[in-house]
Structure 1
């Protein structure tokens, strides 16, 4: 038994997989939730008794609650819960079926809701713990062709802020953090449903998922409100704050094209909307490693806002004093 126990929802691929590895390197034993049994089996073989894996659709609140209780019974009190499960499709909105849109929202947003609910229920008796919700620069500035994903990430921002205020009001020692990520080299671009004429890619600049894992571990360590990862996230957040209409037009052009690779999409490839794609390894990285950086700025978002807004005000004040 150990008092360093974490849960990662969506822990068999991409950001979640990188986070599992990083937590284990820091001495945690980790409960892993995912839909795909074969990838869970692979992680159990790799890590042995350092992990407890549970097949779980995070959109099912009862299933998440049961899995959390089982992990705590096996490993001990859970002190960290990371909500990293996500789905997306690359599609013009009129071409999306209603159940496809719903499925993406159920996993990406409602999965965070269900994970947070379960984590709070397990942590409240000890009145301590870290919950980390994985967001995106697209939670501030949406792009074409990912309407369901962007809607979900915007929803995560609102949900997390509401829960954090409730915990502050109650005097709780449980923290809820947001980590806003840039474009990452993850396997999702090979299994997300795609209706574009070209195979999808992460919009450059591209970063390795281990960058995201380092940001998540910083949130675990510090428990601050929000973190921005990468200069591209800063550009999206502050650009949308100042020039949202200009960005609407800019992203209608470049934002659409940057999501398309140079490879034609033949269509009909397997996708993970209805279930996990079989025959895929439990890996963090996708096929863009040759273009991905393994380092990025990770900054406290409130500090970034203070710098962005406070420095100009300070310069104006100093100028006024000099004129006076």
Structure 2
């Protein structure tokens, strides 16, 4: 693991169109600060640098929607499926090359970011997160921890874990559930103004921060993430649960 006091971290948007700009930013960062230790998104730009050194960490920000698509978000779901597939292929290539460059993907639930305030939409009512959402700090802590772990994948939040399991074991039931709740559940009762700006073609001139307007009711912690970080406790508890009945029988005997 790199020295955290000296590590260089580069975070880019998950956008294939910024490859050249990201490459130029990486070149400048390495000239001024030294080798990049952790790179978030746009893996190919990072890989050509890290592969030569045979070290470093590439983190991809994925989504629960890479496992289970939902209505009204087909382009986003398609993009997240692509990131998932790309990352899986890259994992196998690393294994073949015996590369020491670490690759990890964090599957996100709904997060209360300004995307709901500035996204391009054809809806008549204000977009909102589907199901339970999490505050951005929860996502940030998970990304930071994952970047310094040796895990291949982290599922953040119970909606993500639920999407993975439901798609695996009852996909048709999930289809009917999403058809019934997925469209109304992604909209508030607030009408969208006709002059609402969006950031599809240019930045929105408003002082946005990390949070959107759905902090009320948003999760500030993720018990599932805590369990993922402390796998040893889970295995220990499971082993104890198996052992206790045997000990009880032995004592009675």
- TM-score tier, shorter chain, comes to 0.7 to 0.9
- The aligned residue for residue 23 of structure 2 is 65
From 178, 200, 217, the counterpart of 1:291: 217
- 1:300: how far off? 4.6
- 1:58: how far off? 5.0
Pairwise mapping of residues 1-324 of structure 1 onto structure 2 (< 5 A)? 3-10=6-13, 58-83=16-41, 115-281=42-208, 283-296=209-222, 297-298=224-225, 300=228
Runs of 4+ in 1 over 4 A off after TM superposition: none
> How many pairs does the alignment contain?
229
TM-score by length of 2: 0.84
1:186-241 CA distance string (max 9 Å, x none) = 00100001211210011131110111111111211113111111111111110011
Q: Any stretches of 5+ residues in structure 1 without a counterpart?
A: 11-15, 17-56, 84-114, 308-313, 315-324
Alignment RMSD:
2.4
Q: CA 1:225–1:137 in structure 2 vs 1: closer, same or farther (change >3 Å)?
A: same
- 1:275: how far off? 2.2
1:132-170 CA distance string (max 9 Å, x none) = 100111110000001000000011110000011111111
Asked whether the equivalents of residues 185 and 202 of structure 1 are also in contact (C-alpha less than 8 Å), the reply is yes
- 1:248: how far off? 1.3
Q: Any stretches of 5+ residues in structure 2 without a counterpart?
A: 236-241, 243-253
Classify the secondary structure of the residue corresponding to 1:79. Answer: strand
1:93-148 CA distance string (max 9 Å, x none) = xxxxxxxxxxxxxxxxxxxxxx2111111212221111110011111000000100
